[in-house]
Amino acid sequence: MSWQVELFHKWIKQHLRIKAFYGTSDNAVKTQIWIAVSVYVLVAIVRKRLGLEMNLYQIPQIFSITLLEKMPV
């Protein structure tokens, strides 16, 4: 079981790009992980539905830049 936890931790570090946890309680850490997983899944859904060739790291970067601009993505 401990290797599964280690594999999950490795996947989190590679895919969710959580640099630091904003809270120290168990609930704060779990909430931040669930939010990061949710965003990852939503970006993957958008990528698939729109047929985008970009990787899953480029899409949130574009959204963060163009979110407040009035131009088509």
Q: For 7-60, how does the pLDDT look when each residue is reduced to its tens digit (9 = 90+)?
A: 877 877 777 777 778 888 999 988 988 988 898 888 889 889 989 888 877 877
| SS3 of residue 58 by DSSP | helix
Q: Is residue 8 part of a domain?
A: yes
* 17 found inside a domain: yes
Contact between 26 and 32 (Cβ < 8 Å): no
Report helix, strand or coil for 67. coil
Q: Is residue 73 situated within a structural domain?
A: no
The model's pTM: 0.66
Residues of the domain holding 60: 2-66
